[in-house]
Amino acid sequence: MCGRFAVTLPPDAMAQLFEAVPANDLPPVPNYNVCPTVQIHTILTDGAARRLTAMRWGFLPHWYKATNGGPLLINARAETIAEKPAFKAACRERRCLIPASGFYEWTKDEDGNRLPWYIQPSGEGPLVFAGVWQDWERDGEAHRTCAIVTCAANDHVSKIHHRMPVILSPEDWAKWLGEDGKGAASLMVPAAEGTLTFHRVDTAVNSNRASGEALIEPID
C-alpha cells in the first residue's frame, strides 16, 4: 500500500515537467508528510490539455453520502481495480498522475514497534504514481478525489512491505492518461529492480502532525 509520502518539487517545475497548465489553488510544497484526506498535486488531461490540479487524497465513490460515508479509499489494487464497483469506471475513464519525491512504509521490531522507512528514486527526478480520480458532490459539498494504484512489491521493496505504488516512467505518462491509445492495464506492474532505494528514518513520521525535512533524513 501507500499511506504516506513526500513531495518537494515546486508547482512551476511540475507544470514544466508534465507540460501541464497549473491551477491557482495548489497545495504548498515542500511537504514531507503528505497524509490521507489532504489536497495533493495531480495531473490529468481534459482532452485538449494537461492540467496540474489539486485533489483530495481519499477516493469518494458517488454513493457515499458523506466524506466519511464508507472506508477511506486511499489505494486501489491493480489486481482488482477493473472489477471493483468503486474504481472500475475511473480505471477506464479517469486516470491521473501523482508526483512524489518518495514514500514511507513501515516494518515492526520484535516488540511490535512501527519502524518507518523512506523509499525514493535511485536516480534523478521525482516518482510518478498511477492514480484514478472521481468527482463527488453531496448536499452542496463537492470534492475532486483520487486514489493511488498499488501492485505487488518488487523484490527490493518486498524486504519492507509486500505492496508498493505503481510507478510510471515518463514514456508511460501519456498512455496512463489516455492520450496515447489503450493499454494502460499493462503499466500496472512493479517498478524495475534498481530504480528505488530506501533507508530508515526517525519514528517522528509516525505522527501525521510531524513536518520538516528531518523526517526523510537517514538514521542508523
Does residue 81 have a pLDDT over 80? yes
Cα–Cα distance, 145 to 136 (Å, whole number): 7
Domain boundaries, the chain: 5-216
User: Is 171 considered catalytic here?
Assistant: no
User: Is 193 considered catalytic here?
Assistant: no
| pLDDT tens figures, 165-216 | 999 999 999 999 999 989 999 999 999 999 999 999 999 999 999 999 999 9
Say what the pLDDT of residue 47 is: 87
Choice among 91, 105, 146, 151 that is catalytic: 105
Q: Is 141 exposed, middle or buried (0-12, 13-18, 19+ CB in 10 A)?
A: exposed
Q: Is 63 exposed, middle or buried (0-12, 13-18, 19+ CB in 10 A)?
A: exposed
CB proximity list for 220: less than 8 A, separation 6 or greater = 200
Give CATH for domain 5-216.
Answer: 3.90.1680.10
| pLDDT tens figures, 34-58 | 999 999 999 999 989 999 999 999 9
pTM over 0.75: yes
Distances in Å between the Cα of 127 and the Cα atoms of 66, 100, 113, 153, 219 are 32, 5, 28, 15, 22
Residue 188 C-alpha cell reads as: 500496472
